[in-house]
């Protein structure tokens, strides 16, 4: 997998993912909604940590700087 996420975008994804996971845990929302928020947060954290987003690849987007 080639990098297709830039440094700033990776940081934003990881931070927002962690915020979503915490919100799913602490917010007073139904269990089904909490699971959905956990999953979205987990995907954000994993794609941010890996530096690769399959959706960006599908749409031909690349925010990773040239090496």
Q: Which residue has the tokens 């080639």?
A: 2
Task: Give me the residue spans of the domains in the chain.
Answer: 7-59
Mean pLDDT per 10-residue interval, the chain, length 67 residues: 90 97 94 96 96 93 81
The per-residue pLDDT for 67 is: 58
The per-residue pLDDT for 2 is: 86
> CA distances (Å), 12 to each of 31, 32, 49, 51, 67, in order?
26, 25, 11, 12, 21
| Max intra-chain CA distance, the chain | 45
Question: Phi and psi of 52, rounded to 5°?
Answer: -135, 135
The per-residue pLDDT for 10 is: 95
The per-residue pLDDT for 1 is: 75
DSSP string over 9-46: HHHHHHHHHHHHHHHHHHS---HHHHHHHHHHHHHHHH
């Amino acid at each position: 997998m080639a990098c297709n996420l830039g440094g700033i975008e990776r940081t934003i994804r990881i931070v927002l993912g962690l915020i979503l996971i915490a919100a799913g845990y602490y917010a007073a929302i139904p269990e089904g909604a909490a699971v959905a928020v956990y999953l979205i947060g987990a995907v954000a954290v994993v794609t941010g940590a890996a530096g690769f987003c399959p959706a960006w690849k599908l749409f031909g987007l690349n925010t990773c700087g040239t090496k």
